[in-house]
Amino acid sequence: MSDTSTIPVITVDGPSGSGKGTISQILATKLGYHLLDSGALYRLTALSVIKNNLDIDDVDAISKAALELDVVFEPQAEGEQKVLLNGEDVGVQLRLDETSAMASKVAAIPQVREALLIRQKQFRQAPGLVADGRDMGTVVFPDAEHKVFLTASPEIRAERRHKQLIEKGVNANIRHLLKSIIDRDERDRTRTVAPLVPAEGAFVVDSSDLSIDEVVQQILDFIGVSEA
Ligand code: DC
């Protein structure tokens, strides 16, 4: 692999529902950078586990599934991405609550994280990358030029996820979502490998009371880019 260490990376880490996905898409579009939605890789692995009825304790089989994911990310308008797993559009399945819960479980397996590491690093391509995840600034791209950590209260995040699911035509119960967000946070924060913590020197933004535009503007100011 050629030396990619000089290609700029902006890492955007934080819990689900903090607005990372949307903010990262907007940043990537504005800057003309590539986008890595690393959560999608964990969700895809989870989907493989579910579709192939793998046992959650069968670490070898799950790591193999992660390593061999046949996935294509097709960029769409507005920074959106179509995700194809074995040629099948799995956009809706990836967001199902069952997939989210399984993703959090597979993400706690060190061998799965290891299997997805090289694949994630391969997204570092010119002219630059916006990397969205939990450990982008701490583990995957520790040398990133700019690191951002986005947070928001669990209640706000549950509301956002609810709206997102309804828009995608998926039925969702907000109380159930809040509970699964709190449970998932706990697992993500306390796991021994790559726990969800801000990277050293990260710019921390609480998006609870900010609009998307305000968050984007704060990040652009932080990285020193004035809006075109
Ligand atoms: O961001 P998301 O909700 O799509 O992530 C899905 C799951 O994957 C979530 O439980 C956290 C985990 N994840 C992770 O452990 N590391 C990442 N870099 C991205 C996601």
Residues 6+ apart with CB under 8 A from 8: 33, 127, 128, 129, 144, 145, 146
Q: Which domains does the chain carry? A: 9-33+129-221 (3.40.50.300), 34-126 (3.40.50.300)
Q: How large is the average pLDDT for residues 88-100?
A: 92
80 pLDDT band (50/70/90 cuts)?
A: confident
Task: Indicate if the pLDDT at residue 188 is higher than 90.
Answer: no
Pocket of ligand 1, beta carbon within 6 A: 16, 38-39, 42-43, 103-104, 107, 133-135, 184, 188
Burial of 140 (0-12, 13-18, 19+ CB in 10 A): buried
Other beta carbons within 10 Å of 58: 12
**Which of 71, 129, 134, 183, when mutated, tests ligand 1's pocket best, judged by the most ligand atoms within 8 Å of its CB?**
134
Instruction: Return the closest-CA partner of residue 12 out of 22, 213, 182.
Output: 22
Task: Indicate if the pLDDT at residue 141 is higher than 70.
Answer: yes
Other beta carbons within 10 Å of 53: 6
Q: How large is the average pLDDT for residues 165-176?
A: 88
Token output for 69: 């994911």
User: What pLDDT digit, counting tens, does each position of 23-67 carry?
Assistant: 999 999 999 999 999 999 999 999 999 999 999 999 999 999 999
Specify the pLDDT at position 1.
56
Whose alpha carbon is nearest atom 20 of ligand 1? 39
Task: Indicate if the pLDDT at residue 109 is higher than 60.
Answer: yes
Other beta carbons within 10 Å of 194: 19
**Which of 18, 36, 37, 42, when mutated, tests ligand 1's pocket best, judged by the most ligand atoms within 8 Å of its CB?**
42
Ligand 1 center to 155 CA (angstroms) = 19
